[in-house]
Amino acid sequence: MNYTQYWKKIVLAHHVILKGWPLTEGVVNPTNIHDVDSMRTLRDHLKSGECYWHKLSSSERETAKEQYDQMVEDGEIEVVERKVRSDKKTTRKK
């Protein structure tokens, strides 16, 4: 899963969101959770169903897009652009 671009690649692209995520630092890769208690809390929430995937309705999608735009504007989320190919405007052999 793409944790670094969670909002853009998961929420906005697939119209789903993790509800009930128990950790305060937001949705992060579980391999980056170094506190055993936090990992156990996450595991317990996933097992019990407190943390689950929620499919967004059309109004929730609009709200999520506005929320994403606001987070980008506030600098909470860094937008990562792909590097342009070095041979972008050259012809390639066929």
* Tens-place pLDDT, residues 33-52: 999 999 999 999 999 999 99
For residues 56 and 68, the answer to whether their CB atoms sit within 8 Å is no
Compute the mean pLDDT over every residue in the chain, rounded to the nearest whole number. 92
Whether 43 is in a domain gets the answer: yes
What pLDDT sits at residue 56?
Answer: 97
Q: Kindly state whether residue 27 falls inside one of the protein's structural domains.
A: yes
Asked, for residue 92, whether it belongs to a domain, the answer is no
pLDDT in tens, 74-87: 988 888 888 998 88
Residue linked to tokens 């170094």: 34
Q: Is 91 part of a structural domain of the chain?
A: no
Query: What is the tally of structural domains in the chain?
Result: 1
What sections of the chain are H helices per DSSP?
13-14, 36-48, 58-74
pLDDT in tens, 5-28: 899 999 999 999 999 999 988 899
Amino acid at 58: S
Q: How far apart are CA 2 and CA 4, in angstroms?
A: 6
* Domain membership flag for residue 87: no
Domain boundaries, position 36: 6-74
- pTM attached to this predicted model: 0.77
